[in-house]
Amino acid sequence: MNAHIANFSNSVIHCSRSTEYRSPFGAQKTGSYVDLAIDVYCHVDEVVLCYAYGLYSLSYNEMRCVKKEADGVRWHARLRMPSESGLLFYWFCLRSKNEDIEKIVDKEYHDLLYRKHEENRTYLYYVASWEKKDGQGKFAFSAPRVGANEDKYPHAFQITVYEKDFTTPDWMKGAIMYQIFPDRFHRDQAFSFSKMKDSEKERPERICHEDWYEDVDIYGKESTGYLACDFYGGSLQGIAEKIEYLKSLHIDVLYLNPICEARSNHRYDTADYMNVDPLLGGIAGYKKFSSCMKENGIRYILDGVFSHTGADSKYFNKLGRYEGNGAYSAFAEGKESPYASWYSFWRHEDGQIDYDSWWGFPDLPNVREDDLSYRDYILGPHGVVSNWLRGGASGIRLDVSDELPDSFLREMRSCVKSATNGEGLVLGEVWEDSTTKVSYGNYRDFAFGRTHDTVMGYPFREVLLGFLKGDIDAFEWALSMERMRENFPDEMFFCMMNLISSHDVPRAITVLAGKPDPGDRETQRKTPLTPDELKKGMDLMKLAFFVQMTYPGCPCIYYGDEIGMEGYRDPFNRRTYPWEKESAVQLIQLDEYRKLSGLRSEHEVLKNGDIRILYAKGDVLIYERYLDEKGRDHFGRICQGSNNALCILNRSDRMFLLVDHDPVSGVVSVLEKEISSLSEEDKASNYESIVSEQTDTRGKIVVAPISYKIIIQD
């Protein structure tokens, strides 16, 4: 907005992502100091730093900046971060005589200025702009609104203040993750269809597929309708039997969707927290699976569903399928049950029983997380979480963690760390920016070192797929990613779960190349990718893999994405992996993925090295990952492999890139050429493999349309 309301551009400058203006960079530890500077190239009497900090409530304060006489332009302030973690928002207020401020602002905007007439004073605010490189701000006529329930405009600059002793597991930083929906990944060698079919005797609503390659059910049985109760027989032993496949993908960590006993195939309707579903192999199968993962150096985390249970469970027992009294009969018939206090019941005027349930689904009754008997059952020293962690799991992924109370989440973190000597992971399902997530009327305690280690990277997915689809350009991608890097604690940022698909969203290839979601399941089934869409989707998926594998955080591959499995929302994003029926195109895609994941495993600079975006414009994105002069990563650890990786992505489908890079200055120049105008010499110089090994990247680097190139330097 500077250029729109100011008489000359850049008359005031503060860049939150430049250490010249804000030092140190990014999120800060409690009790640390931050130096803030702002350049003012016009006369004003004073520059005031305005700030508000806190979490559940915000305290507003002001500090007058000090003018540095050496240059007469720079104003400075030093802030000590609060001793309690939370959010700190800040902005600047320029205060001077009316005529001074009026000289800065175009005449047509004078009526919008905030004035103190009795003092002959006028205020002009300098606030954050989310559209400018390096976090440069802009003018505003009013102060930012920063309260949890306020409309956040104008924007304030943000500093995330986190616990000074906050650390996350080193094994998670930069790890490659693979998500598996257990029923749909692989049947084990001892699979028995008749045994699976027997489960229908106790739960007649179930549908069992004898044919692994049969499409998913969308109707359910006539008596029940669709219930997500069709099963294929994938098991934990089936996963273990594919250990060599997982190792070929260079997987470090598995994330398993729920494995506890439940009625549905997704198992988010927990029936027994302490028992592995018999269809997955039961406790015996789990122990074998856990041993296999440990022997092969692959960690795994389990999905924890603590917002609700199943109505068909030992705890609620609405259908009466479990021994003992559940909470439902305790309320309905006045019987004794140890679970009676876990749920909220009431009767309507007609006497009908009702209860609180997750998003109104009666099969998913909500639990009362503040109930101390429930907390003891889940988080106590002999509770559910400790049981699974001591049994081999390396962490817990929290389903709908933004619907769990902050106090429950803090106790969860304490429980996980206690059960694992501090090495366990708490991964939360949060779909928005977790540093400023608001729910239940408050900013939430997600990103400050007291609850989660990290969260699912849905914002990463949204921005990356948006860029690859052409909805945003490379500059907008860079702005969004740099804002995340600025706002997240480093410990959290470097183990962010950077996904492009999951069990809750359409497959990435369908989003990138398919038709818009038609809505109903019948039409979704009849709308597969055309051959042209499939080719386009496979090409764009390679670019998505490239960014996942070269960007900081933990790239997470949802099973089957590595071969381009397609599908709209649930249940089509949960189809079976087509073992031994992969197409030639899928196997080529798999090979591409293996090369990229192998590159990340070989060169640790791609895991925890620092990042610098060198060029982001239109279809072209260029950044480098680098170690310091002693070969150390962001956390000061000596790394294996090369010290620098130059990463170039060309989203265009018709332009070759001719890239010149000066590795000393970091300056990059890019020339785009139409395919038809490229010389034969240039075409011949294009890469044959995904990586080039060279010590000097000066000179022409050629990158084909819808392609990428990685230059590895010592």
Q: Is 336 exposed, middle or buried (0-12, 13-18, 19+ CB in 10 A)?
A: exposed
**pTM (two decimals):** 0.94
Instruction: Give the count of beta carbons closer than 10 Å to the beta carbon of residue 608.
Output: 23
pLDDT at position 570 is 96
3-state helix/strand/coil string of 15-46: ECCCCCCEECCCCEECCCEEEEEEEECCCCCE
List, in sequence order, every residue forming a beta bridge with 302; answer none if it has no partner. 256, 396
CA atoms within 13 A on the CB side of 427: 33
72 domain residue, yes or no: yes
Contact predicate 299/311, CB 8 Å: no
108 domain residue, yes or no: yes
Q: Is 57 exposed, middle or buried (0-12, 13-18, 19+ CB in 10 A)?
A: exposed
pLDDT at position 679 is 62
146 vs 692: CA distance, rounded Å: 47
Phi, psi (deg, nearest 5) at residue 707 = -155, 175
What's the CATH number where 688 sits?
Answer: 2.60.40
553 vs 607: CA distance, rounded Å: 7
Instruction: Give the count of beta carbons closer than 10 Å to the beta carbon of residue 20.
Output: 12
603 domain residue, yes or no: no
Decide which of 127, 162, 197 is a domain's last residue. Answer: 162
Do strands 86-97 and 157-162 pair parallel, antiparallel, or not at all (unpaired)?
antiparallel
Contact predicate 440/402, CB 8 Å: no
207 domain residue, yes or no: no
586 domain residue, yes or no: no
pLDDT at position 714 is 72
538 domain residue, yes or no: no
Phi, psi (deg, nearest 5) at residue 377 = -65, -40
pLDDT 10s digits, 162-182: 999 999 999 999 999 999 999
Q: If you count DSSP H runs as helices and E runs as strands, how many of each does the chain have, helices first? A: 19, 37
pLDDT at position 665 is 79
pLDDT at position 70 is 63
Sites in the chain below the pLDDT cut of 70: 1-9, 70-71, 677-699
DSSP for 92-134, written as a single string: EEEEEEHHHHHHHB-GGGGGGSEEEGGGTEEEEEEEB-TTSGG
Prior bond of 571 cis (ω within 30°): yes
pLDDT at position 382 is 95
Inter-CA distances, 682 with 275, 301, 375, Å: 61, 47, 65
Q: Is 170 exposed, middle or buried (0-12, 13-18, 19+ CB in 10 A)?
A: middle
Contact predicate 501/558, CB 8 Å: yes
Decide which of 102, 137, 162 is a domain's last residue. Answer: 162
96 domain residue, yes or no: yes
What's the CATH number where 89 sits?
Answer: 2.60.40.10
Segments forming the whole domain that contains residue 669: 609-713
Total domains present in the chain: 3
Amino acid at 438: V
Reading the block at residue 480, the tokens are 């969004």
54 domain residue, yes or no: yes
Decide which of 138, 162, 186 is a domain's last residue. Answer: 162
Helix (H, G, I), strand (E, B) or coil at 346: strand
